[in-house]
Amino acid sequence: MRHLLRLILMLLPWMIRRPLLIRLFGYEIDPTARIGLAWVYPSKLVMESETSIGHMTFCVHLDLVHLKPHATIGRGNWITGFPTGTEAVHFRNEQERQAKLTLEEHSAITHRHLVDCTAQVTIGPFATVAGFGTQVLTHTIDLEANHQSSRAITIGAYCFVGTDCVILGGAYLPDYSVLGAKSLLNRAQERTFGLYGGVPARWIKQLPDSYGYFHRQSGRVD
């Protein structure tokens, strides 16, 4: 019955669906925000002004999805996690874990990416997960201890993640940095204004702080 209700809601025109999502699920959705034909049902959803989630995006099993002003999630994304407060034995030793996705202001996840938010994923202001096919994976199996484990991932401010990358739990891409296409980011990096790339990703070179991308006043790149 619950899934049928969600399906019906998904098919309704947005002007009808928005107030029902607020009333039935307690979501916080600004009048200027919009969700396309998409299955978006986290435990809590906050969409601030001028935010959007595109068609055919699937987003469930999260404690919280929070889009700050002008943040966008594009079409065909698969965004899932493992919510806290369940009785399952997985992640029982991780008391501080949050199954949470936060997009800071003017940030973007473009189209057809996979984002695992078993632990918190944060996309910094004016950052872009670009292209197609990037995998953001916060959880894994601890082979030594033989149990599930998770670590948060942070993409810094004004970062650019190229197409078809893999980003693993514990990774941090510093502010004003670029992760080259098809790279594997598996740890926290430190140097800002850097080009990182490879498998695993490493520092390649310093980027000029004069690049226009690093000084945008709008998340959109024309």
| 4 in any annotated domain | no
| 76 in any annotated domain | yes
| 64 in any annotated domain | yes
Domain at 126, CATH number: 2.160.10.10
Domain count across the chain: 1
The answer to whether 79 and 58 are in contact (CB under 8 A) is yes
By the 10 Å C-beta count (0-12 exposed, 13-18 middle, 19+ buried), 5 is classed as: exposed
Distances (CA, A) of 12 to 15, 21, 113: 8, 11, 25
| 170 in any annotated domain | yes
Question: What is the pairing mode between strands 114-116 and 39-41?
Answer: unpaired
Which residue, 134, 107, 141, is CA-closest to 122? 107
| 5 in any annotated domain | no
pTM of this structure = 0.95
| 43 in any annotated domain | yes
Task: For residue 107, give its domain range.
Answer: 28-208
**Per-residue model confidence as pLDDT tens for the chain (222 residues):** 788 999 999 999 999 999 999 999 999 999 999 999 999 999 999 999 999 999 999 999 999 999 999 999 999 999 999 988 765 677 877 888 999 999 999 999 999 999 999 999 999 999 999 999 999 999 998 898 888 899 999 999 999 999 999 999 999 999 999 999 999 999 999 999 999 999 999 999 999 999 999 999 999 888
| 190 in any annotated domain | yes
| 185 in any annotated domain | yes
